[in-house]
Each structure stands twice: as structure tokens, then as C-alpha cells.
């Protein structure tokens, strides 16, 4: 695909090629990164409960925080891979970069866990009241 700012690459925009690239990256992240896989599975279970209880706002909130944590995990994995590609030996600057990326993931995981815990608690109370 042609890069419009740099003027490099092949001409032509193909939305299906972009979608294929997105799904290829997501598949790679789920298959090779355990942290992405288990978050996706756990969120899918809670999303299924929200859908079954027809709690639409809860479903959307869970969807948003799940997207947040998955994006953070995938970007963290990409940053770590790029750092390892650039410098394979130990470098204190690379360590700082990786630590900052991990801090971003940590914040998103904390928010994700709080939302999931609250929603699971609400679903549990709704099921018990029924």
C-alpha cells in the first residue's frame, strides 16, 4: 500500500487487505501472547453474561475496557519486539522504554480488573435475586 506522506510503497488502497492485516495481527497476538489470550477469553465470558442479562450499558463498558487492555498489551508486545530487534544485548535505555510500556499495560489491566470485578458482582447479585 502506498504511504501518502512518505510517497513509498505500491499505489492503491485496499480495505480488505487492511482488514486481513488487522486480523492477522490479532491472531498472532492471541496465539503467541498468553496475556492477550486469557484476557480475551475472560472478557468474552463476562460479555456473554452481560448479553444474556441484556445489560447493554454494562456490555459496552466491558467491551471498551477490554479493547483498552488488548490495545495496551498488543502495543507493549510490539514495543518489546522492536526494542529486542534494535538491541539484543542489555541496554539501560531499552529497559526504561520497556518499563514505561509495561506501566501503560499495568494501568489498563487495573482498570479492566476493577470493571470486570464490579460487573461480575452485579451479575452475581442479579442472578441470585432472580
What is the residue extent of each domain of the chain?
A: 1-32, 34-129
* Alpha-carbon span 99 to 63, nearest angstrom: 26
Residue by residue, pLDDT tens for the chain (130 residues) are: 556 666 666 666 677 777 888 888 888 888 988 888 888 888 888 888 888 888 788 889 999 999 999 999 999 999 999 999 999 899 999 999 999 999 999 999 999 999 999 988 988 898 898 7
CATH fold label, 34-129: Helix Hairpins (1.10.287)
Joined grid coordinates for residue 100: 514505561
Task: Fill in the DSSP letter of residue 53.
Answer: T
Amino acid at each position: 500500500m502506498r504511504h501518502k506522506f512518505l510517497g513509498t510503497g505500491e499505489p492503491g488502497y485496499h480495505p480488505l487487505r487492511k482488514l486481513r492485516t488487522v486480523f492477522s495481527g490479532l491472531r498472532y497476538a492471541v496465539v503467541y501472547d498468553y496475556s492477550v489470550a486469557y484476557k480475551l477469553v475472560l472478557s468474552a465470558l463476562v460479555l456473554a453474561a452481560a448479553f444474556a442479562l441484556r445489560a447493554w450499558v454494562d456490555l459496552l463498558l466491558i467491551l471498551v475496557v477490554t479493547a483498552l487492555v488488548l490495545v495496551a498489551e498488543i502495543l507493549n508486545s510490539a514495543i518489546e519486539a522492536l526494542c529486542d530487534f534494535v538491541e539484543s544485548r542489555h541496554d539501560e535505555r531499552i529497559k526504561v522504554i520497556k518499563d514505561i510500556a509495561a506501566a501503560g499495560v499495568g494501568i489498563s489491566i487495573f482498570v479492566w480488573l476493577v470493571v470486570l470485578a464490579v460487573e461480575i458482582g452485579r451479575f452475581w447479585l442479579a442472578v441470585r435475586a432472580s
